[in-house]
Chains A and B, each alone.
Chain A
Amino acid sequence: MLQQIEGSRAVAEMVALCRPEVVCAYPISPQTHIIEALGAKVKRGDLAPCEFINVESEFAAMSVAIGASATGARVYTATASQGLLFMIEAVYNAAGLGLPVVMTLANRAIGAPINIWNDHSDAMAARDTGWVQLFAETNQEAADLHAQAFRLAEAVSLPVMVCMDGFILTHAIERVDLPSQEQVDAFLPGYRPRQLLDPAEPVSIGAMVGPEAFTEVRYLAHVRQLEALERIPEIAAEFCGHFGRCSGGLLRPYRLDGAELVVVALGSVLGTIKDTVDALRDEGARVGVLGITTFRPFPAEAVRAALADVRRVVVVEKAFSIGHGGVLTADVAGTVSDRAVPVATVVAGLGGRPITRASLRPVFQAAAAGRLEPLTFLDLDREVVERELARMASRHRSGPTAENVLRDLGAAGSKIL
């Protein structure tokens, strides 16, 4: 049924329709509304026999998720930012143990300096954990991806992280079509674990593995991710058939026909990028967009095919590897490395800075004309940066720069001298 609903609520409704048996989470902005809504449903008995387990930290949340999943329960949790970092050891374990946990990551920046707003630093910090990482463009897709995530997780025995932009999606109220219980039941059958903890038949999982087998175990984890790469489009196609709308899959190409410049991005910024590109197309520019829905496993072959006739690529990223540059850029560049296709990075939207059409437009125009630097920070305040650089040059001292920058901007910040 079509509803005008907050993104977090829509995700909670969809997760509930997926009949989780254990929900365990620790609250952290901007994930809280999802967990509050699910907690209320469990308390009302709407999700019986689901158990909502209050935990004392994110580390406990993922540890409980691991334990519950190992007993054969369908498990859901959600986190963001520092919460993800706090649970990161267990995040790796969930993947290493092959447990089909589904987790929403309400993408948020990582400190210091502390920042509650949106970017993709948290998702990038979990890039190599062995989890599948899917990115939602809209709240409709965020909801839909959760049904697909449970299907995929249980099909390939891997945990799946659904990334949705914190606040921008989680707190946005927009149109979402939520399916009926019957529809979801038909798409997502009950979880049948390959192996489960049972006191009657004791097994141990998470055994120690030495140098004689660790490489093979890791290689097999890679093979399993590649298997996910095959299953994701199949599940997305099946979803299309069941629900009459298409969500998920590997990539989301937009106006690639005849495109000489293609803008690549993850998540909700694709909407603003598409509007920007539409305006440029109207003026005759040959620009297209490639949304990456599946970030891990990385769909290299599909990206290579999508960029086959392209002359230039711009990757808009809400995170970057400090001291290096774009994270997604490196993956994308690998797919065109056999051709002379420049791949530029535009770092944008860090810590919640709005990404506007007005700022994107000249960047895309510069890229189309071959004038874009390999690494650009969108809307960077050069003046503030230069002043702090001058201070750093004149006086060598350790410690943070954030307070100086805030003082330059006239914002409230503690003084450190």
Chain B
Amino acid sequence: MFQVRVHGRGGQGVVTAAELLSVAAFADGRWAQAFPSFGSERTGAPVVAFCRIGDTEIRTREPVTEPDALIVQDATLLQQVNLFAGLRPDGYVLLNSARRLEELGLAELLGRLRRDRVRAVPATDLALQHTGRPVPNAVLLGGFAAISQVVSLEAVITAIRGRFRGPVADGNVAAATDAYRLVGRTEESRIHAPAD
């Protein structure tokens, strides 16, 4: 079983990200379970959601405390929340940032994780470019497909098109595909947004 924790802020579509990831896994023929951490969600407040993906029915209902992967939708949470709590040493981290990981003060983290499993991708920039809205959730799933190989890009696109319609769907698919390519091809921690 592969366990993902999504961190972000109210309004960034954190819960939707976990849901879309589970729908993508379902589209790939796997079992998946997504659920939010339930709190008094407010715009801007830290929000967490979870997704488990497996090859058999997922029965446990407890929150994900030892994630195999983290998706961080807002890099300003780095100073506010213990994002990396419980993260497995061979775990994956995908950060929404246009900056280098080293610039984000993550040198210590990079030291104890596998370097090829930690990536930053400018998901907000890509979202703005393709959808005109600064909502990075669906975009990051494209990057997540590339870094983790746990879901396919095709399944992520299926999930996005199942949730959104028209230009919003098209824009998110284009942005997720860009994120997939950026994360997939770079060996550097820094991924330049096309707009850079």
Contacts and interface: CB of A to CB of B under 8 A. Distances in A.
B88 to A, nearest CB: 15
B58 to A, nearest CB: 7
Interface stretch (B6-14, B61-69, B113-121): B61-69
Given A4-B23, A173-B22, A173-B23, A268 B61 contact: yes
Given A275-B60, A354-B62, A173 B35 contact: yes
A269 B32 contact: no
A175 B61 contact: no
A269 B59 CA distance: 9
Contacts of B35: 167-168, 171-173
A41 interface: no
A174 B33 contact: yes
Interface in A197-230: none
A377 B28 CA distance: 41
Contact of A171 (B25, B31, B36, B60): B36
Interface string B24-65: 011100011111101000000000000000000111111101
Where chain B touches its partner, the secondary structure class is: mixed
Given A356-B62, A357-B62, 10 more contacts: A4-B25, A4-B27, A117-B38, A167-B36, A171-B36, A173-B34, A174-B32, A272-B59, A355-B62, A356-B65
6 contacts: A173-B33, A173-B35, A174-B58, A175-B26, A271-B60, A354-B62
Interface of B: 18-19, 22-23, 25-27, 31-36, 38, 57-63, 65
A170 B45 CA distance: 22
B26 A4 contact: yes
Nearest to B65: A356
Interface string A144-174: 0000000000000000000001011001111
A174 B61 CA distance: 11
Contacts of B58: 174, 271
B23 to A, nearest CB: 5
Nearest to A356: B62
